[in-house]
Structures are given as C-alpha cells and as structure tokens.
C-alpha cells in the first residue's frame, strides 16, 4: 500500500481533502519519473524501495476463466516443452497479490486498462459493479482507461468511478447505493470535444516516503475504431506519445520526478511463454508499443501496457537509447507483473538501472481469498436464474478466443447463427454474415462449469462468448464492396495485425499471407455457394452494429445501404444453439473450410 498508510476510499477522500486545501495544486497530487543512469561521476543516491504490482485487461473475469482463456504458457522444468497451466480467478489473484506485498512496506497496485467491459455474465449482468467492488477489495490504486471502459459510453464510465445506481436498472443491492471505484481511473488522452478537457484526471500522484511518484494513464489513440460510435460519442482520443510527454513535463514542473506510464496499447512477443523477456533491446517484441516506447520522454521511468493480451517483460530503449522497462501481464487476471523500483530521495527520480520486472502466474493451487469468495457467491446467487438456463449441447470444445487459427471454429458457429436468424426476407434477407474475431471473447467448453452437465451450454456461457449484446444489422453491399471488405482485413489499419472476419457457410475465398496488403485476398477465389462474386451485383450482408458501422477498420461496411436492424447477436446465438443441438445430437465442431489459408498470419484483440 502507499506510504501514506491510507487505503481504499479513505485514501481517496484524504487526497480530495488535501487537493481542496491547495496542498497539491489542481488535481490529486501529480507525478513523474526521470531516467538517470547514476554511473560515472554521479552521486550514490539514498533510495526508497517501491514495489509496483501490475495487471491489465481483466475484463470482469472474477471466476477462473474457462478453456484456453484460463491458462498460460510456460516451460515445463522437466521436459523443457511449452505447457498450458491453469491460471486466473479473483480469489487466487487476491491471494497472490497479498502474498507478494509482504515484506514491501511501499507497494502500489496499478493497471493498464480494460478492467471492465466484455465481461462474463456475473459481472456484465450488473454493469460491472461486481468487478469494481472486487478491485476495491484487491487494493487497486490506479489504472488507465482502456477501450472497453467505453463500451457503455463515458457517462457509465464516470458512474463506475464516482458511484451511483445505474440510470436504467437502478440499484442491484437493496438499500445500498453503488459507491464507485476507490482507485483512480486516468484518461489523459481522452477529452470532451466541446471543452477540450480530459474526461477524467490525466495523472495521479502519491507520496512514497517523501518522494512524489506520478502515474499518467492513456488508452490507445485508435479507440474510436474498436468501440461503437455511441460509446465514444462526444470524445476525442489524442496521440499516446504526445499526451504522455505533455503531462510528464507538467508533472516535472510540479516537482514530481518519478513517473510511470500506464498505457492501454501493447505488443506481440515472439514467444508465447509468460516470462518472455523480449531479448536484447526488445528485439523480440513487435507492434504499436515498440514505436510508442521509443518516443516517450526519458523522464518516464517505467511503462506498463495492455490491450494485446500478451505477456512480456521487456527492456526497450528510450529516445536516448537507455533501456526502459515495458511490461504486460497477459489478460483475465492470469498473471501479475512485479516491478521493483528504487527512488532517489535527493533528486526524486527513479534510478533507472535499478528497475527490475517479472511476470508471475496466478496459480490455482493456493488458498482462495475468503472476501472474494463471498463476493462471487453473492453475485452468482443473484445471477443464477438467468446464468444457469441451458441453451443447447456441444459434443466437444468449440474454440474461439483460444483458437490460434485465422478461421476459428466458434467464429464459424457465430456467423452461421447470425445468417440463420437474418436470412428470412422479413428479417433482412441476409445471404452472408460476418463476425469480428475480437468480439469472440471465450470458448465453448465441453466440460461442465457447474452442475449443468458436460456438453451443456448455459446462457451464462453463451454470454461470456458474446457479452456486448450488439444489435444486428443487414445491409446491401455490391460485390466490389464485398471484395473491398475482405481486403480491409489485411490492409490499411489492419495490415500489420490482420483482423480476419469469421464468415457464414457458403461464402469462401483464399488468403495468401505470403503476399502483402490487399493482394493477400485472391479475388478470383471469392465465391458464394460456389458461384464467383459479381462485382456489379448486390448482396445482403449481416453484421453486428459495431462492424456494420465500419468499426475495426472496415469502412466498406459503413458504405452499405438499405439497413435493417435486427435482434441482438446474443439472441441469435442462443436461438441457434437451441435449434441446432440436442442432448443426443450435440453441435459439432465446424470443419474450418471456408477460408483457405496460404502462409500464416496473426489477429488482434
């Protein structure tokens, strides 16, 4: 905990009172970190030790995530092979963090966004209030916002921060008003279009044994491309580097010389193992965070990242060529990162060579935290009548989030469900349906998660797969626009990290990933029910409202005409499971034969 000795809401109230008294200037005491080498000719500093425990992309996974979403990759010490180890669950995460804090009088718990959003039913049903309550109990101090914090719009984000009952659904606990987050949400690069001011504090500062430590929080600049238009309405998202450097300078002017950046943007490590160190100079990691880290002011002493759901503990050179810690703890509470810093009491800066960072697995062979078990049991009881309702049957695991293939088995099922529900003329007359891969949040797992029995798919499990409840749309696209749509998967903003749409049965084509950009789509292979797509013909195409609006870098969708709005994607998924599976005839794993792949590729959250 911070050296103030205050925790949770009491600490928050104390900071607010101090700010009101003018002790800290305008916002909650701001702070920064300067990168000094302390080599030849420098004084030997008197230092203060600070432990940071970091998580990212928790996404409301209070219970241990199912299937591959609940494992991490590590090297077996005996066989030296990569194995999957069960991990995650707030009961185990709390135990792990509380154990890690022992012997560290100065410890802060931080996060890099997407704490909520795209959450399983137990949290999502209650607009993620259970997760905020869990994070309060966990001792989270500060987090940046992520893109999913905007799933329900900025007003809902502010409610999660400040408290109050949901404007439509009211209070879930009789006689008790939701109190909001005890921790600070930071949104330095998210401003109101009209006022130009950040919608939340841009930074947060605490005092660690006389040294001011500041945290700047940003989300990725491209958030509007991956969130519904309604979710980011009235907001602007500025460049990550420009914003961090601006506030780092401001913090230094305020006398804060120890700075940490919390960034909801990340990278792609060359190895899937949880403790990958990225190699010399960070050469083993790619993606947006590399360029960002290389441009951030050297005054920032450490960078905590997220968004890509990957695990790494890297050193990437700053603009002066000095190595700087850049970390990510995968997702869903399966890992936490321990970052140990030394703060120079005289200069107030982070002693850069002292920074060490390592990821740790949240293993499930430790005692559960009793307070988290109580919270889970409470909300599970409230959700049970809805969550436990059986929808259908599967004969084996049908992987979505856990599939490394560009065409995912569960993606095929979801696209088929959307086509089945929207093919009737009065429902839109859809001929083709597409699903965005990032919207598939989990797997369908054969093994029972509760008392429902193996192979049974419950409403709660279906919700975990498709938690956004996006309304479906059917639009008319020309054949030429359809081809543009396919090309946008692997070109433009998606070229570096392709987003391969999951398509319904009957629509086929070939992707040659050995080529570059739009050329990866072999146009003469694009067919519907065996017939080549006619560039001049019109086709009725179904997609969720996010994709249909051009989200995820697909402007060809937005150009569609004759829009018809249907029911939610979750309703179609539930109906399809019920209509196409029985206990003695469960749904089979699709053949994954719709997209022929030449070469390899990656897809992105």
* Per-residue pLDDT reduced to its tens digit, 379-417: 999 999 999 999 999 999 999 999 999 999 999 999 999
- By mean pLDDT, which of 17-21, 61-65, 520-524, 598-602 is the weakest? 17-21
Q: Which residues contact 507 (CB under 8 A, 6 or more apart)?
A: 432, 527, 528, 594
- Give CA–CA dist 26/199, Å, rounded: 15
Of 56-70, 168-182, 324-338, the poorest mean pLDDT is in 168-182
Write the DSSP string, 458-487: EHHHHHHHSTT-PEEEEEEEEHHHHHHHHH
At CA 266, angle to CA 569 and CA 415, rounded to 5? 20
Q: Which residues touch 418 (CB under 8 Å, ≥6 apart)?
A: 430, 433, 435, 472, 504, 542, 543, 544, 569, 572
Distance CA 523, CA 521 (A): 6
Q: What is the mean pLDDT of the chain?
A: 92
Say what the pLDDT of residue 449 is: 86
530: left (phi over 0), alpha (psi -120 to 50) or beta: left
Query: pLDDT at position 45, please?
Result: 64
Distance, in Å, from the CA atom of 337 to the CA atom of 605, rounded to the nearest integer, reads 21
pLDDT of 22: 33
pLDDT on residue 489 = 98
> 349 with 35: CB under 8 angstroms?
yes
Q: At CB < 8 A and 24+ separation, what contacts does 9-14 make?
A: 9/136, 9/179, 9/182, 11/182, 12/182, 12/183, 12/184
Q: Residue 171's Cα: distance from chain center in Å?
A: 27
pTM for the structure as a whole: 0.89
Q: What is the pLDDT of residue 175?
A: 80
> Does the pLDDT value for residue 112 go beyond 80?
yes
Average pLDDT over residues 559-585: 97
Nearest CA to 595 among 440, 406, 409, 416? 406
- Checking if the pLDDT of 308 tops 90, the result is yes
Residue range 363-376, pLDDT digits in tens: 999 999 999 999 99
Residue 351 has pLDDT above 90, yes or no: yes
Q: What tokens were used for 256?
A: 């804060």
Q: What is the pLDDT of residues 465-493, one digit of tens each?
A: 999 999 999 999 999 999 999 999 999 99
* Banded model confidence at residue 16, pLDDT cuts 50, 70, 90: very low
Closest CA to 142 of 188, 88, 193: 188
- Is the sign of the CA dihedral 289, 292, 293, 294 positive or negative? positive
Average of pLDDT values for 439-449? 94
Lowest mean pLDDT among 43-57, 224-238, 360-374: 43-57
CB 30 within 8 A of CB 250: yes
**Does residue 32 have a pLDDT over 80?**
no
pLDDT band at 37 (very low <50, low <70, confident <90, very high): very low
188-197 tens-digit pLDDT: 999 999 999 9
Could you tell me which of 97, 117, 109 has the C-alpha nearest to residue 204? 109
In a 13 Å sphere around the CA of 3, the CA atoms on its Cβ side amount to 14
pLDDT tens-digit map of 264-294: 999 999 999 999 999 999 999 999 999 999 9
- Work out the pLDDT band at 43, boundaries 50, 70, 90: low
Cα separation, 252 vs 268, in Å, equals 32
What percentage of the chain reaches a pLDDT higher than 70?
92
Say yes or no to pLDDT of 40 above 80: no
Compute the average pLDDT of residues 52-76: 96
- Collect all residues with Cβ–Cβ distance below 8 Å to 248 and sequence separation of at least 6: 32, 216, 259, 296, 297, 299, 300
Q: Identify the pLDDT of residue 525.
A: 98
Which one of 1-10, 19-28, 382-391 scores highest in mean pLDDT? 382-391
Does residue 600 have a pLDDT over 90?
no
- Please name each of the domains of the chain with its CATH number: 8-361 (3.60.21.10), 389-598 (3.90.780.10)
């Amino acid at each position: 905990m911070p050296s103030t000795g205050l925790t949770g809401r009491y600490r928050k109230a104390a900071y607010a009172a101090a700010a009101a008294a003018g002790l800290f200037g305008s916002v909650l005491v701001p702070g920064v970190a300067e990168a000094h080498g302390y080599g030849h000719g420098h004084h030997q500093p008197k230092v203060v030790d600070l432990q940071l425990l970091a998580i990212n992309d928790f996404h409301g996974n209070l219970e241990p995530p199912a299937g591959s979403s609940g494992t991490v990759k590590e090297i077996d010490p005996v066989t030296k092979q990569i194995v999957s180890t069960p991990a995650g669950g707030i009961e185990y995460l709390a135990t792990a963090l509380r154990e890690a804090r022992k012997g560290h009088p100065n410890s802060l718990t931080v996060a890099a966004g997407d704490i909520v959003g795209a959450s399983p039913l137990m949290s999502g049903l209650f607009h993620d209030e259970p997760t905020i309550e869990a994070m309060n109990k966990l001792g989270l101090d500060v987090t940046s916002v992520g893109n999913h914090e905007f799933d329900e719009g900025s007003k809902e984000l502010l409610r999660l921060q400040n408290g109050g009952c949901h404007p439509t659904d009211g209070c879930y606990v009789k006689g008790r008003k939701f109190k909001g987050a005890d921790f600070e949400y930071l949104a330095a690069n998210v401003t109101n279009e009209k006022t130009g001011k950040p919608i939340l504090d841009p930074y947060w500062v605490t005092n660690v044994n006389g040294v001011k430590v500041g945290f700047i929080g940003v989300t990725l600049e491209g958030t509007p491309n991956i969130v519904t238009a309604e979710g980011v309405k009235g907001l602007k998202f500025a460049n990550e580097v420009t914003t961090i450097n601006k506030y780092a300078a401001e913090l230094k002017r305020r006398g804060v010389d120890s700075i940490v950046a919390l960034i909801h943007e990340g990278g792609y490590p060359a190895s899937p193992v949880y403790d990958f160190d990225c190699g010399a100079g960070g050469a083993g990691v790619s993606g947006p965070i590399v360029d960002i880290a290389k441009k951030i002011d050297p005054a920032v002493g450490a960078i905590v990242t997220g968004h890509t759901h990957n695990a790494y503990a890297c050193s990437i050179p700053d603009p002066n060529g000095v190595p700087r810690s850049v970390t990510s703890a995968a997702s869903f509470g399966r890992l936490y990162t321990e970052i140990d810093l030394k703060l120079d009491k005289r200069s107030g800066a982070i002693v850069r060579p002292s920074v060490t960072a390592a990821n740790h697995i949240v293993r499930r062979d430790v005692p559960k935290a009793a307070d988290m078990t109580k919270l889970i049991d409470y909300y599970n009881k409230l959700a049970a009548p809805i969550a436990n309702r059986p929808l259908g049957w599967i004969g084996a695991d049908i992987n979505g989030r856990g599939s490394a293939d560009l065409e995912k088995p569960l993606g095929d099922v979801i696209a088929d469900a959307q086509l089945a529900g929207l093919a009737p003329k009065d429902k839109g007359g859809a001929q083709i349906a597409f699903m965005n891969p990032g919207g598939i949040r989990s797997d369908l797992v054969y093994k029972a998660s509760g008392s429902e029995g193996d192979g049974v798919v419950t409403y709660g499990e279906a919700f975990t797969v498709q938690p956004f409840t996006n309304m479906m749309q059917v639009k008319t696209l020309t054949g030429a626009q359809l081809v543009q749509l396919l090309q946008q998967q692997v070109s433009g903003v998606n070229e570096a990290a392709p987003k391969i749409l999951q398509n319904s049965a009957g629509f086929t084509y070939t992707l040659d990933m050995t080529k570059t950009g739009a050329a990866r789509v072999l146009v003469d292979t694009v067919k519907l029910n065996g017939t080549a797509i006619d560039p001049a013909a019109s086709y009725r195409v179904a997609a969720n409202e996010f994709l249909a609006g051009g989200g995820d870098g697909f402007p060809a969708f937005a150009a569609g005409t004759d829009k018809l709005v249907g029911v939610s994607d979750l309703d179609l998924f539930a109906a399809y499971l019920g209509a196409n599976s029985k206990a003695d005839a469960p749904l089979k794993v699709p053949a994954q034969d719709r997209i022929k792949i030449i070469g390899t590729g990656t897809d992105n959250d």
